[in-house]
Chain A
Amino acid sequence: MQLTVPQLDFWAIAPVLAMTLTGCAVLVADLFAPPRRGHTFLALISLIGLAITAALSLAIWDYNQPAAFAGTVAADNFGQFFNLLFVLIVAVTVLLSHEQLERDEFHPGEYYTLLLFSAAGMMLMAGAGDLIMVFLGLELLSISLYILAGFSRRRLESEEASIKYLLLGSFATGFLLYGIALVYGSTGSTNLGCVAQALGNRSQFASAACPTALGASAGVPAMLLAGIGLLIVGLGFKAAVAPFHLWTPDVYEGSPTAVTAYMSVAAKAAAFAAILRVFLIAFPSLVSDWSGMLAVIAIMTMVVGNTVAIAQQNIKRLLAYSSIAHAGYILVAVVAATSLGVQSVLFYTLAYTLMNLGAFAVVILLGRRGEENVMLADYAGIGYRQPFLGLAMTVFMLSLAGIPPTAGFFGKFYIFSAAMQAGQYGLAVLGILASVISVYYYLRVIYLMYMVEPSRDLGAPAPAPWATAAAGIAVVGVVLLGLFPQVILDWTLASIGFMG
Chain B
Amino acid sequence: MATVAAGAVLGAFVVAALAVTEYLSGDTAEPFRQHLYPWIAWDIGGRTTLIAAAGLLLDPLACVMVLVITGVGFLIHLYSAGYMGHDAGFGRFFTYLNLFTFSMLLLVLADNFLLMFVGWELVGLCSYLLIGFWFERPSAASAGKKAFVVNRVGDWGMLVALFLIWSTYGTFQFFGQRTGALASAGVLDDPGRILTDGSVALAIALLLFVGATGKSAQVPLYVWLPDAMEGPTPVSALIHAATMVTAGVYMIARTHSLFLLAPESLVVIGTIGALTAVFAATIGLVQTDIKRVLAYSTVSQLGYMFLALGSGAFAAGIFHLMTHAFFKALLFLGAGSVIHALNDEQDLRRMGGLWRYLPVTGLTFIIGWLAIIGLPPFAGFFSKDLILAKTFERGLEEPWYFVLYGIGLLTVALTAFYMSRLVFLAFFGQYRGAMTAPGITPTQAAMAPEHEPAAAVPAGLSMGHNPITPSAASAPSAHDTHRSDGHDVRDAPGHGGRTGRPHESPPSMLIPLVVLALLSMVGGWVGIPAFISDAVTGGHATGTPFEQFLAPSVGGQEGAAATAGHALDVTTEWILTGASVGMAGLGVLVAAMLYLAGVPNPSSLAGALRGPYTWLLNKWYVDELYQALIAHPGARLASFLAAFDLGVVDGMVNGVARLARGTGGVLRQLQSGYVRGYAVTMLIGAFCVLAYWAFRT
Q: Which residue of A lies closest to B683 (CB)?
A: A171
- Does B403 have its Cβ within 8 Å of any Cβ on chain A? no
- Complex-state Cα separation, A227 to B468, whole angstroms: 89
Task: Please indicate the chain A residues that have their CB under 8 angstroms from the CB of B678 in the complex.
Answer: 164, 168, 246-247
Contact A164:B675 (CB < 8 A) given known A233-B689, A486-B37: yes
- Complex-state Cα separation, A307 to B667, whole angstroms: 9
Contact A303:B685 (CB < 8 A) given known A229-B690, A296-B692, A486-B37: no
Task: Please indicate the chain A residues that have their CB under 8 angstroms from the CB of B661 in the complex.
Answer: 307, 310-311
* Min distance, Cβ B697 to any Cβ of chain A, angstroms: 10
Task: Please indicate the chain A residues that have their CB under 8 angstroms from the CB of B686 in the complex.
Answer: 175, 229-230, 233
B664: contacting residue among A168, A243, A247, A310, CB under 8 A: A310
- Complex-state Cα separation, A340 to B44, whole angstroms: 11
Chain B binding surface SS class: helix
The answer to whether B692 touches A293 (Cβ under 8 A) is yes
Name the residue among B686, B692, B693 with the largest chain A CB count within 10 angstroms.
B686
Task: Please indicate the chain B residues that have their CB under 8 angstroms from the CB of A230 in the complex.
Answer: 686, 689-690
CB contacts between A and B, total, < 8 Å = 87
* Min distance, Cβ B677 to any Cβ of chain A, angstroms: 8
- Does A9 have its Cβ within 8 Å of any Cβ on chain B? no
- Complex-state Cα separation, A307 to B670, whole angstroms: 13
Query: Per-position contact with A for B384-425: 1 when CB-CB < 8 Å, else 0?
Result: 000000000000000000000000000000000000000000
Name the residue among B38, B663, B675, B684 with the largest chain A CB count within 10 angstroms.
B675
- Does B40 have its Cβ within 8 Å of any Cβ on chain A? yes
- Complex-state Cα separation, A164 to B37, whole angstroms: 49
Interface set, chain A 150-194, CB cutoff 8 A to B: 163-164, 167-168, 171-172, 175
Name the residue among A237, A311, A440 with the largest chain B CB count within 10 angstroms.
A311
- Does B2 have its Cβ within 8 Å of any Cβ on chain A? no
The answer to whether B684 touches A486 (Cβ under 8 A) is no
Count contacts on A: residues with CB < 8 A to the other chain: 40
The answer to whether B692 touches A246 (Cβ under 8 A) is no
The answer to whether A307 touches B663 (Cβ under 8 A) is yes
A289: contacting residue among B37, B682, B684, B693, CB under 8 A: B693
* Min distance, Cβ A247 to any Cβ of chain B, angstroms: 6
Contact A226:B663 (CB < 8 A) given known A237-B682, A244-B682: no
- Does B538 have its Cβ within 8 Å of any Cβ on chain A? no
- Does A232 have its Cβ within 8 Å of any Cβ on chain B? yes
- Does A431 have its Cβ within 8 Å of any Cβ on chain B? no
The answer to whether A243 touches B685 (Cβ under 8 A) is yes
- Complex-state Cα separation, A164 to B674, whole angstroms: 9
Query: Per-position contact with B for A222-248: 1 when CB-CB < 8 Å, else 0?
Result: 100110011011000100001110110
The answer to whether B671 touches A246 (Cβ under 8 A) is yes
- Does B26 have its Cβ within 8 Å of any Cβ on chain A? no
* Min distance, Cβ B41 to any Cβ of chain A, angstroms: 6
- Complex-state Cα separation, A63 to B29, whole angstroms: 46
The answer to whether A243 touches B675 (Cβ under 8 A) is no
Task: Please indicate the chain A residues that have their CB under 8 angstroms from the CB of B690 in the complex.
Answer: 226, 229-230
Contact A233:B664 (CB < 8 A) given known A167-B675, A293-B692: no
The answer to whether A171 touches B679 (Cβ under 8 A) is yes
Interface set, chain B 619-673, CB cutoff 8 A to A: 657, 660-661, 663-665, 667-668, 670-671, 673
- Complex-state Cα separation, A486 to B35, whole angstroms: 14
The answer to whether B667 touches A308 (Cβ under 8 A) is yes
Query: Per-position contact with B for A327-353: 1 when CB-CB < 8 Å, else 0?
Result: 000000000000010000000000000
The answer to whether A243 touches B41 (Cβ under 8 A) is no
Task: Please indicate the chain B residues that have their CB under 8 angstroms from the CB of A304 in the complex.
Answer: 667
The answer to whether A486 touches B41 (Cβ under 8 A) is yes
- Complex-state Cα separation, A247 to B673, whole angstroms: 9
Task: Please indicate the chain A residues that have their CB under 8 angstroms from the CB of B660 in the complex.
Answer: 306-307, 310, 437
11 contacts between A and B (CB under 8 A): A164-B675, A171-B679, A229-B690, A230-B690, A237-B682, A246-B677, A246-B681, A292-B696, A293-B689, A309-B664, A311-B664
Which B residues fall within an 8 A CB radius of A?
37-41, 43, 657, 660-661, 663-665, 667-668, 670-671, 673, 675, 677-679, 681-682, 684-686, 688-690, 692-694, 696
